[in-house]
Amino acid sequence: MGRTLERAFKRSVASILKLLFRSYPPKTLPVPRGILVIRQHNQLGDMLCVVPLLRALRSRYPAARLDLMASPVNQEVMLNSRYLDRVVLYDKRDFLRNGRIRPLALYRYIRSIRGVYDLVLVPGTVSTSFTSDFLAFLTGARLRIGVGSLAGHPNSSSYFFNIAEDLDWHSPRHQTLRNLDVARSLGLDTPDCSHEMTLTAGEIEKGREIALGIRGTKRLLIGFHPGAGKVPNRWPAESFAELIDRLSGHSGGAAFLTSGPMDEEVVTTTAKQLKGLVQIIGNQSIRTIASIIKEADLFVSNDTGVMHIAAAVGTPVVALFGPTDPLQWAPIGPMIRYIQGEGGDIGKISVDAVFKAATGLIRKVSA
């Protein structure tokens, strides 16, 4: 009921605004004093892929206020980012309760973002969002930049922007670069396209204490994430178990498994097949998990959000891919290795291949 009402509301508002408003490109691009990037999708990897855009904006406009609008799922990941002044929470549940729109709550939210920014950017990579585009319009910013069309498909809410970029990628292009493409009219660039998650000193210390308890007297600490929200993205539990036993024996390292809300079954199955004991890290906030992973010497993960987290805190990562294109989604950096299963089948990745990539990274870390 709530979702149907939301869709109907969006269609009605879009029809009215398209008739009443039309945005025009500014004659000159002003130096912004306040900038907002809207990325209110729920996917964690999508959010971290926007970091290079934030990095480029901060470099170009060091004196400007730079904020990011995020959903509740991703707000926690972006808190304390060294590129941002503030993370603005967008939670549509505040405006929709029991199938009813709460106009007063919506009005208060609009007032809180209106007149604060003179530049708003809405990146588009795999899809566009009416909600994001509409929120850009509601800020009242003089310059609003977003997607005009995506891969040849017109964005039906592009009239909310006064610069609408047509984005059409004919070959694989990493999602971080796709986020930067929407700002091409600003001439933004950055040589560093890595992901980044900023942890506080207290969070780092907490992660170090937990990691030390897992490591004990072992020389190395290796983390593994055998889960994933999408089943085709899960390397078989028996393969993970074999890899963990082999790496632990080869390196003399301590191992731990990370587990999210949907991972309990596959993590339990993996742990039961191990020859030795392993620490399972679950029921923790994403920031606590990130602080523990930061202390690891290596992290082996399926293609899922935790993979991006591990790379974002600077830990060497071996990333395992199934149907998703790693040329577009694998984390970027010199300490990242990815392996894709033949034909997009993650189950076809051999334990030998992952073991070779993992030991190679361990040697590089230890050198």
Question: For residue 359, how many C-alpha atoms fall within 13 Å in the half-sphere facing its CB?
Answer: 15
- Judge whether 2-186 and 201-366 match in fold: yes
State residue 296 phi and psi, 5-degree precision: -75, 150
Tens digits of residue pLDDT in 137-186? 999 999 999 999 998 899 989 999 999 999 988 888 999 999 999 999 99
Give, in order, the Cα–Cα distances in Å from 258 to each of 11, 210, 224, 242, 279: 41, 13, 6, 17, 9
CATH superfamily to which 201-366 belongs:
Glycogen Phosphorylase B; (3.40.50.2000)
Q: What tokens does 253 get?
A: 């390292």
Torsion from C-alpha of 101, 102, 108, 111, nearest 10 degrees: 20
Give, in order, the Cα–Cα distances in Å from 297 to each of 16, 225, 239, 256: 55, 14, 21, 12
State residue 22 phi and psi, 5-degree precision: -145, 130
The one-character DSSP state at 269 is: H
Give, in order, the Cα–Cα distances in Å from 65 to each of 83, 84, 223: 10, 8, 37
> Which residue, 210, 183, 171, 176, is CA-closest to 293?
210
Q: What is the DSSP string of 4-40?
A: HHHHHHHHHHHHHHHHH------SS----SEEEEE--
β-pairing verdict for 153-154 and 143-150: antiparallel
Domain boundaries of the chain, sorted by first residue: 2-186, 201-366
Q: What is the pLDDT of residue 252?
A: 86
Q: What is the pLDDT of residue 259?
A: 93
283-291: average pLDDT: 93
Tens digits of residue pLDDT in 85-133? 999 999 988 887 777 778 888 889 999 999 999 999 999 888 888 989 9
CATH superfamily to which 2-186 belongs:
Glycogen Phosphorylase B; (3.40.50.2000)
89 DSSP β-pair partners: 70
